[in-house]
Structure 1
């Protein structure tokens, strides 16, 4: 295992320890509103600090992009950035709905190179390094070989605080709903992407996400043999927040639906 992935794993498990602590102490959690349907809890903040502390122990000069504390510039000579979501699925966590995860990715010279997603409820650790494959608890994982939308199970995320694109989203949702075996919306994009990587769902699409939501999951899927793009078929999903992922056989059909249902303006 690459040293950076070892650190990501250690950091994810440290955050998981914080999350498990609060799983049994919901009455002790303080919560703030960042915006409409957008929350940050004491657990989010402490989990993020546990991750950052772990990274800083080994690499005090690396850059960090974290959901709660923002961007911390690093030593430009290293050109390494850690992309952190300490608790993806905060709303689920606050309602004791057991679908949330820690997500950590490493970006070097602008390319994603390592990823760790940890589900503290199921004790499942998804990991990947560029060119070295993707794993679930040290066992190799692959995307499905599903060939057709008709028999596929997709995952997605609903708009929850920015509803400006809801009509486009609902058009895509209707099209996929009527052409697939089913759609799941569990509330954690990081885990949805991890599930594409390990074959629990065949594909995923969502609009308006943040880099920390999808960076680790995107690398997992690529290393598990899948395709990950923005809605124009490009590589700008971390910037646009629009992401589509599937195995190579199913990707083309999904892209056709996205192209027909989501406007050019929203596909940027």
Structure 2
């Protein structure tokens, strides 16, 4: 079975396992802090165990890098890394806000740039975004791309949760610009929607993003034709360590990025 198909099947199983949990008492609970540093909820643990059980069932030789479970070695001779945020947007999921997803990616080496496959599933609808390197990006069976025309409304995603005054000052041009800013609470799903052309720029400059949050979005955005840069406007790359935190800027093209977030000389 191709790696992309394995990620898709794992995502389908997550959807079936958690689709009735969101907004109920079953979603909550406190299982301590996961490997990523956030409190693990029951819906997180259920989703992760679903993936781990499936990978063991098919004997997929890999190292899993999970948001909650940490590093799990499923083989002495792994083919690569499964980078897993089984529930991105846990706060939304627990409260019943219908904006959360699963994010699964496969990397051959210890770098973001080695990611070959990614799948993001909207766990409120079951819709699946997926990509394999060199083959484009898709929403279910339809190929998608970033917005290529001049937008009627400029929509900019900006994650400012817990942002410092310094970061807010850096982002001031975004808020002063004649655009509509948004943040829905699940970075992976927002990256997927950006890749679909529903936003023109998506920015997170807080240096808080874990690799699990953006791994699948990384390949989907790139295959959809988007720019994906770090806070210094260089091509985004990083290792897969649990200590790694990144900032990123996704843009449909350089022109709209320069318009919304101009570089300071």
Give the shorter-chain TM-score range: 0.7 to 0.9
- Aligned mates of 1:219, 1:118 — CA distance in 2: 14
Question: How far, CA to CA, are the matches of 1:127 and 1:90 in structure 2?
Answer: 21
Identify the residue that residue 201 of structure 1 maps to in structure 2: 199
Pairing 1:80-99 to 2, within 5 Å after superposition: 80-99=80-99
Higher helix share: 1
Deviations 1:20-40 (A, max 9, x none): 1313643574235639x9432
Write the distance in 1 (CA, Å) between the matches of 2:97 and 2:27: 17
Report the RMSD for the aligned CA atoms in angstroms. 2.6
Aligned residue pair count = 253
Aligned counterparts, 1:70-89, within 5 A: 70-73=70-73, 75=75, 77-89=77-89
Residue by residue, what CA displacement relative to the aligned partner does 1:68-113 show, whole Å, maximum 9, x if unpaired? 0111245575441000001100111111111100000000134010
TM-score (structure 1 length as normaliser)? 0.85
For 2:260 and 2:194, the matched residues in 1 are separated by: 16
Q: How much has 1:60 moved relative to structure 2?
A: 4.1
Residues 125-140 of structure 1 mapped to structure 2, 5 A cutoff: 125-140=128-143
Residues 147 and 249 in structure 1, CA contact (< 8 A), matched pair in contact too: no
Indicate yes or no: 2:237 matched with 1:236. Answer: yes
TM-score, scaled to structure 2? 0.85
1:1-268 aligned at under 5 Å gives the runs 3-23=2-22, 25-26=24-25, 29-32=28-31, 34=33, 38-73=38-73, 75=75, 77-109=77-109, 110=111, 111-146=114-149, 151-160=153-162, 166-206=164-204, 207=206, 208-232=208-232, 233-236=234-237, 239-250=244-255, 252-253=257-258, 256-257=261-262, 259-260=263-264
Quick one: distance in 2 between partners of 1:251 and 1:168?
Answer: 23
Give the distance between the partners of 2:63 and 2:84, measured in 1 at CA: 11
Contact map agreement 1:7 1:54 (CA 8 A) in 2 = no
Which stretches in structure 2 are left out of the alignment for 5+ residues? none
Q: CA deviation at 1:127?
A: 0.4
Shift of 1:18: 1.9
- Cα deviation for residue 142 of structure 1 reads 0.5
Corresponding residue SS for 1:39: coil
* Structure 1 portions without partners, runs of 5+: 262-268
The residue aligned with 1:266 is: none
Instruction: Label 1:74 to 1:251 Cα distance change in 2 as closer, same or farther (>3 A).
Output: farther
Q: Deviations over 1:216-254 (max 9, x none)?
A: 011101000111121121333564411111112446416
Partner SS for 2:117 = strand
